[in-house]
Amino acid sequence: MRLFFRKDSFKCLIAFLTVFLFSFSSAYAADAKLYKPFVMAKTPAGDFNAAVASTKSTLKNAGFNIVGDYSPYKNAHIFSITNETVLNIVKNEKAGAYGAVQRVSVSQVKDKLQVAFTNPEYMAYVYRFKNDFKAIRADLIKALGYQKDFGAEGLTEKKLRKYNYAWGMEEFDEADEIAEYSTYQQAIAAIEKGFKKNKVGAYKVYRVDVPGKNMTVYGVGLKSPDMFNKYQDDGYIMSVIDFDNDKHAAHLPYEMVVVGNKIEALNGRFRIAINFPDLSMAGENSFMNIMGAPGGIKKALAAVAGGETDEF
């Protein structure tokens, strides 16, 4: 089984044996601005279905294109959105595909509703963009309203641009190599064919092509086809780690990116941790309880893209 931490790294054995200390603030100057991964919008009216419908309408009226939406598990609905402003920014960024789509969630928590979205500014720093995406954050807040930022004690811009969860674990520029083809067109064709077969429960939520580039991002939903693949299942993974009252559903879906003739995805140890940076390494509702997720996610993506899966 592939562990959440690198089993070939002594450094990560240390990280595993030592419960991760939530002490970000001690490493920064007192006046350093801290950023959090999610933004809680205004509470919508009506029931869950009404909130989903009204959020969809609001996003469209605000000029966002809904490129995909789905319900990965009960009481959660996620919109994947973009617009011309976003695409004009990311086409000039080295890893622009990762920021081409923003994520908005509607969640029901007992008798309460929540609309939230990933913080564009936070993610721009994670993706090491030159543009800080403040304008995109402002547009989303104007459309959906604002209550608070949430999801972590907070990280500085400097920390986000070099983020990894613990010593020895992956950073942003250590993405998983999923598959490689002779051309960009062949890579795209392989992925589209893989989604049609859908043998592993991985399905396409969206596809967005970055203008003027041989660069495409896919949003991939994961639903285990049987009980033996729980680490390839959005619902199971989120049932373990998204336990706070403020829901992180906009963590989903996972991205698979085509850059030229290569297909890649952020390593799960990075992709999950960046949206749950305060989650403990061990104990109840911890990364230890989803230690097979990075390998399971990569295996599912590789199965879609025609990559090697026998290493898992």
pLDDT (0 to 100) of residue 21: 38
Burial label for 168, CB within 10 Å (0-12, 13-18, 19+), is middle
DSSP 155: B
CA neighbor of 124 nearest in space, from 112, 136, 109: 136
pLDDT (0 to 100) of residue 257: 98
CA distances from 292 to 177, 183, 243 (A): 18, 32, 19
pLDDT (0 to 100) of residue 228: 66
pLDDT (0 to 100) of residue 226: 75
Burial label for 227, CB within 10 Å (0-12, 13-18, 19+), is exposed
The structure tokens listed for 39 are: 């933004």
pLDDT (0 to 100) of residue 31: 62
Enumerate the domain spans of the chain: 10-305
pLDDT (0 to 100) of residue 102: 98
pLDDT (0 to 100) of residue 13: 45
Cis (ω within 30 of 0) for the bond into 277? no
Going residue by residue through the chain, which has 312 residues, state the pLDDT in tens, using 9 for 90 and above: 444 555 444 444 444 444 343 444 444 445 699 999 999 999 998 999 999 999 999 999 999 999 999 999 999 999 999 999 999 999 999 999 999 999 999 999 999 999 999 999 999 999 999 999 999 999 999 999 999 999 999 999 999 999 999 999 999 999 999 999 999 999 999 999 999 987 788 999 999 999 999 999 999 999 987 766 899 999 999 999 999 999 999 999 999 999 999 999 999 999 999 999 999 999 999 999 999 999 999 999 999 999 987 654
The structure tokens listed for 178 are: 């999923």
At the top level of CATH, the class of 10-305 is alpha beta
pLDDT (0 to 100) of residue 225: 74
Q: How far apart are CA 209 and CA 91, in angstroms?
A: 10
